Amino acid sequence: MATLTPLDGGGIKTSRASLIGGIAVAVGVFVLWQALARDLGMGDFAPLASGAAVGSVTGLWIWRADL
């Protein structure tokens, strides 16, 4: 049985557009996280740090997954 092999060697492509999109998504997630935290009355350092962490991880995922 024949197996399919990717033409590009199977590596994950990370284009410049994907990087810019990942940064935009990270900033957007962070802004929305902070708006929600402020709406709920949580203005400490913890929501700021967790929002930065969630935004960063989401942006990295968008960049690496090439979405």
pLDDT of residue 54: 94
- Asked if residue 33 lies in contact with residue 54, where contact means CB atoms within 8 angstroms, the answer is yes
CB neighbour class for 63 (10 Å; exposed up to 12, middle 13-18, buried from 19): buried
Query: Which residues, other chains included, contact 60 with Cβ-Cβ below 8 Å and sequence gap of 6+?
Result: 22, 26
pLDDT (tens digit per residue) in 7-56: 666 665 567 888 888 899 999 999 999 999 989 888 788 888 999 999 99
Rounded Cα distance, 50 and 23, in Å: 17
